[in-house]
Amino acid sequence: MIRVALSCLACAVLIASSLVAQEQSVPQEKPSAPEFRFEYATDPAGAIRQVLVYRDQVQIQALDSCTGRDVPRGNGLGELWHPDFNFDGYRDLMMRVEFEPVTDSSSYCIWLYDPKTQTFVLSDELSHLINPQPDPDHKTVVAGRKILCSRQCYEEDTYKWSDGHLRLVREESLTEDPLVAPESQCRWVWAIKKERNGKLVENRDRVDPAGLRCEPHTAGLSEDILPFRQ
């Protein structure tokens, strides 16, 4: 097994794909958190088998890929980031393990930092999301992907943390109705589900290429314009 050292700048910068060994540490946000250094354990072909975690020059963890297989290099696979996904003030760890260029969709292995054990713990829930991003302003996690259609179709889900688990609180999508004639200006369907009294309540509308709602309007929707996602 081959070990490849990684550098991490202030626990917030993308790990360079060249994998040049550097001795810079990875500070956590809170002063009481220890500093970490990360290395790759690779096979002879360079595929990533594990992410090795060091503290005070001592290896304390060997994190296996959440996919159950080695992660090949290329297309940004194996890159590491350190966002705070659960908003506890500590940087977590995410590694890109899959990338779909057509829909610009990435999957990640995501480990949450546990300040009690001072180790990184795999989050199966986060690791199953597509393109997950923390939103610190709203304390939510947003995930979504593009959908192939004649416009910028998409799906987007929003989650909140509840008792250590993700709870879906919003779903939004823009899709193209295949049963509507291609020349129709109202063949796109915008749908949104919002949490109300513990349940997701859905509203739907047809929209034209400019994002304007087609008649008749769906009751309960106050916006007059729906811009397409870019």
Q: Which residue, of 65, 95, 128, is where some domain finishes? A: 128
- pLDDT tens-digit series, residues 11-46: 333 333 333 333 344 555 554 567 899 999 999 999
Average pLDDT over residues 68-96: 95
Exposure class string for 85-108: b at 16+ Cβ within 10 A, else e: bbeeebbbbbbbbeeeeeeeebbb
98 and 175 inside one domain: no
Helix (H) or strand (E) holding 73: none
Q: Which residue, of 96, 128, 160, is where some domain finishes? A: 128
**Confidence band for 66, pLDDT divided at 50, 70 and 90:** very high
49: region left, alpha or beta (phi > 0 left; psi from -120 to 50 alpha): alpha
52 and 83 inside one domain: yes
124 and 140 inside one domain: no
17 and 119 inside one domain: yes
Question: Does pTM surpass 0.85?
Answer: no
Alpha helices (H) in 51-197, listed in sequence order: 124-127
- Domain tally, the chain: 2
Q: Which domain holds residue 101?
A: 1-128
92 and 157 inside one domain: no
96 and 190 inside one domain: no
The burial class, CB within 10 Å (0-12 / 13-18 / 19+), for 55 is middle
13 and 107 inside one domain: yes
Decide if pLDDT at 193 tops 50.
yes
C-beta contacts of 105-112 below 8 A and 24+ residues apart: 105/130, 105/131, 105/145, 105/146, 106/76, 106/130, 106/131, 108/132, 109/63, 109/65, 109/66, 109/67, 110/66, 110/85, 111/63, 112/85, 112/86
Q: Lowest-pLDDT range, 46-60, 198-212, 215-229?
A: 215-229
Q: What is the pLDDT of residue 21?
A: 32
107 and 11 inside one domain: yes
211 and 140 inside one domain: yes
Exposure class string for 127-155: b at 16+ Cβ within 10 A, else e: bebbbbebeeeeebbbbbbbeeeebebbb
140 and 124 inside one domain: no
Q: Residue 126 in 3-state DSSP?
A: helix
CA 1, chain centre distance (Å): 29
**Confidence band for 110, pLDDT divided at 50, 70 and 90:** very high
Q: What is the pLDDT of residue 222?
A: 36
170 and 91 inside one domain: no
